[in-house]
């Protein structure tokens, strides 16, 4: 299964990239599972980020949201404005 993963704000800086296309193993089927898998494969900033938000195909999603072939998954910290 191939997905596009995007990183925003502090995650982009910590990981040194705005995104990547990845082939996921069969057991990774949710946004939370993807985050855990990424954290275990060199993206430690995802494990330590507090209140991390996620979107699947540009819709806000929780950790139980399903991810499938061709999906775009974005991870970003909460953002405040003024």
The CATH number that domain 2-76 falls under is 3.10.20.30
Q: Are 39 and 46 in contact (CB under 8 A)?
A: yes
pLDDT tier for residue 80 given thresholds of 50, 70 and 90: low
**Residue extents of the structural domains in the chain:** 2-76
What mean pLDDT is predicted for residues 12-27? 94
| 59-61/72-76 β-pairing | unpaired
Q: What is the pLDDT of residues 7-18, one digit of tens each?
A: 998 899 999 999
């Amino acid at each position: 299964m191939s997905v596009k993963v995007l990183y925003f704000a502090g995650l982009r800086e910590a990981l040194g990239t705005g995104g990547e296309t990845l082939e996921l193993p069969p057991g990774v089927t949710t946004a939370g599972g993807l985050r855990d898998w990424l954290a275990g494969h060199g993206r430690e900033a995802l494990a330590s980020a507090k209140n991390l938000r996620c979107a699947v195909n540009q819709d806000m999603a929780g950790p139980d949201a399903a991810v499938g072939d061709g999906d775009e998954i974005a991870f970003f910290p909460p953002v405040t404005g003024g």
